[in-house]
Amino acid sequence: MNMFETLRIAIRSISSNRMRSGLTMLGIIIGVASVVTMVALGSGARTMVAEQIRSLGAHVLMVLPGEAREQGVRKEAGSAQSLTESDARAIAFELSTVAVAAPSIRGVFQIVSGNRNWRTTVNGTTTDYFFVREWALAEGRYFTDEETLAGAKVTLIGQTIAEHLFDKDESPVGQTVRIANAPMTVIGVLAEKGPTGTGRDQDDVVFLPISTARQRLIGGANQVNREAVGYILVKAASNDVMSVAEQQIAWLLRQRHGLRPAHPDDFRITDPAATMAAQTASTRVLSWLLASVASVSLVVGGISIMNIMLVSVAERRREIGLRLAVGARRSHIRTQFLVEALVICLLGGVIGLIVGMVGTALLAALAGWPVFLSPASMAMAMLFAGVTGVFFGYYPARIAARSNPIDCLRSN
């Protein structure tokens, strides 16, 4: 008996009892659909985190002020005014492991264009900021060093600001906007960056030269130290020197701030990419754990298949005995029942793939979760379904192949 004939008999046997075959497939369908959905969610989350890491820029460190103390009470992190523009210049020019450093100050203000307005984050910084973040332009230009020194009334806006303040067919470049009643000329629109891991829109931002922001918007908020900045973004010379750069920055700032060995740092240095990479690793472990739990349904489905196949062997004893009596080999009988179990599992796997893809698409649309349907994960789920069919179908097939034809023909 050739394989085609064996497959035809298997399909006919499955079709003869559709209800039982469908119930037998149910565990496989649920298992494959669950595995596909869980892996898609995990892959989508990892892809999103990877995009966020890329949006930060390569080998970036963030230097933040420490917490302030007032009458023995420690305030929130970043409340101290311990970082200055001079610190940023020293980091950039004195450390060989650092490419550039960009000081920044920020606040929230209303921005107005014509009869439209939008409340957004205003960030005062230098041109190096865009080099650190690897933030390209959609149109226009960056502000120059001369404009930064002169406190020029120029601004760069993000895509979200452009969408809310200007028409789609209208170029913002050259237009005048008012930020807290201060007129500014738009000289560029930044390329889209997308949301951060916390959901904050990176494109909902306006950039000014740091001197302009300090003189016209934010300077009055800091009477203690007018050179203080909110944070410093640092771009290391390469990824290989990230840890060395972090140590050197800490050493330099302690020296500049006159901190004795016993005193704690009055700043914090963080590696956003490393934090997100750790999130990626934990997400990968969690997604595979969920997929492993979901694969239990495949095992349960396999046990169900074994039980149904044992019932099928008992019901078809006369058929088995007759085939053995007319010359069929025991290997033919074993192959027939193995193929039946395999067909049930693969058919259930195909239906499970369809259910999983539909469920994943609905989840992405309704819940807004990031998903990524990987062909490798779908192939893995189908392979697991096939292995389940062979593994759990072998014992009933072996029982059928070892049956005594005389006993089988005597059975009712």
Average of per-residue pLDDT values in the chain: 80
The domain locations on the chain are: 3-52+280-410, 81-265
Asked if residue 33 has pLDDT above 90, the reply is no
What is the pTM assigned to this prediction?
Answer: 0.60
2-21: per-residue pLDDT in tens? Answer: 666 667 776 777 777 777 77
Which pLDDT does position 71 carry in this prediction? Answer: 45
Confidence bin at 285 (pLDDT 50/70/90): low
At 49 the pLDDT is: 63
pLDDT at 141: 93
Contact 301, 393 (CB under 8 A): no
- Rounded to an integer, the average pLDDT of 118-142 is 90
pLDDT at res. 54? 60
How would DSSP label each residue in 163-215?
A: HHHS-TTS--TT-EEEETTEEEEEEEEEPP--B-TTS-BTTSEEEEEHHHHII
Is the pLDDT score of 412 beyond 70?
no
Closest by Cα among 94, 28, 101, 66 to 305: 28
Over residues 224-251, mean pLDDT: 84
Q: Is the pLDDT of residue 233 over 70?
A: yes
Question: In this predicted structure, which of 82-96, 267-281, 329-343, 383-397 has the lowest mean pLDDT?
Answer: 267-281
**Residues 6+ positions from 231 with CB-CB distance below 8 Å:** 62, 63, 64, 65, 78, 83, 103, 104
Higher pLDDT, 157 or 221: 157
Give the pLDDT band (50/70/90) at residue 221: very low
- For residue 135, what are the CA distances in angstroms to 184, 276, 315? 21, 19, 71
Q: Are 400 and 337 in contact (CB under 8 A)?
A: yes
Say which residues have a Cβ less than 8 Å from residue 230's Cβ, sequence separation at least 6. Answer: 65, 78, 83, 104, 105, 106
